[in-house]
Amino acid sequence: MSKPVINWFRYASPLTFYPLAGRLIPWFWTLAAIFGVLGLTIGFLLAPTDAQQGEGYRIIFLHVPASWMSMFIYLVMAFWAAIGLAFNFRLSGMMASALAPTGALFAFLSLWTGALWGKPMWGTWWVWDARLTSELILLFLYIGFIALQASIDDPRRADKAGAILALVGVVNVPIIYFSVQWWNTLHQGASVSLTRAPSMARLMLWGMLLCTLACWMYSIAIALMRVRTIMLERERHTDWVRELLADKE
């Protein structure tokens, strides 16, 4: 068999991925810090005050990135789940379970900051708006995934069961999203909508994008840290983990 030019599967094994992840983590933390400082500086110091919402709108710099990340991480999780089912890599299942808590955290943050934003702007903590409801359901899906994995002792079985659930969820997310949207719009016109004025100040947009990048880098860094811990825990019977731990002591 001829050797391929690039070995795509070189880092698919915990043995090779563990040190790589260790080298990458500081970089992602640094990037997260840089983007975070830049984004928050623009967001809190430079961006103009909103004409209608005053200073209260500034929670957008956490709210929107958190909502985007919560949806994006679910897709990434389902992607790793599908890879894991198709190629039977151990690492893919570990990645999926490492991503789930971060995704759940962002879904929760998005709901929480949304409530904080909603109280001064709409005068209520919660409305059954289509977007709020579908974000809540996304949180439920994350919780279901984490609970399923937590209650299965055999990690390989937990990976596969979780992968099936994540894929079923990803097929269902659009259905749920549209059903919730129709549910609300069939009854009455939305009394409150999250849509902003189309002409958003350029600085606001930049601040939001930088904050999103910061959240993104943070997610990668924390997921890599978590996946390293999972690797050590699951591979503790192997030689490389023993050697690694022996070196540390």
Residue span binding other proteins (CB under 8 A) among the ranges 23-31, 34-42, 149-157, 209-217: 149-157
Helix, strand or coil, per DSSP, at residue 9:
coil
DSSP class per residue in 102-128: HHHHHHHHHHHHHHHHHHHHHSSS---
Name which position in 30, 49, 88, 172 contacts other proteins (CB under 8 A).
172
Q: Quick check: 137 binds other proteins (CB under 8 A)?
A: yes
Number of Cβ within 10 Å of residue 207's Cβ equals 24
Q: Rounded to whole angstroms, how far apart are CA atoms 249 and 246? A: 5
Q: Rounded to whole angstroms, how far apart are CA atoms 193 and 91? A: 41
Residue span binding other proteins (CB under 8 A) among the ranges 34-42, 49-57, 70-78, 175-183: 175-183
Q: Quick check: 75 binds other proteins (CB under 8 A)?
A: no
Name which position in 19, 22, 183, 229 contacts other proteins (CB under 8 A).
183
How many residues are given for the chain?
249
Q: Rounded to whole angstroms, how far apart are CA atoms 139 and 37? A: 28
Residues in the interface with other proteins (CB under 8 A) total 30
Name which position in 36, 56, 144, 155 contacts other proteins (CB under 8 A).
144
Q: Where are the alpha helices (DSSP H) in 88-201?
A: 90-122, 130-150, 155-187
Q: Quick check: 196 binds other proteins (CB under 8 A)?
A: no
Residue span binding other proteins (CB under 8 A) among the ranges 4-12, 62-70, 140-148, 192-200: 140-148
Q: Rounded to whole angstroms, how far apart are CA atoms 202 and 219? A: 26
Closest CA to 97 of 171, 155, 40, 44: 155
Write down the least CB distance from residue 26 to other proteins, Å. Answer: 37
Q: Quick check: 161 binds other proteins (CB under 8 A)?
A: yes
Name which position in 38, 82, 160, 170 contacts other proteins (CB under 8 A).
160
Residues that bind other proteins (CB under 8 A): 85, 137, 140-141, 143-144, 147-148, 151-153, 156-157, 160-161, 164-165, 167-169, 171-172, 175-176, 179-180, 182-183, 186-187
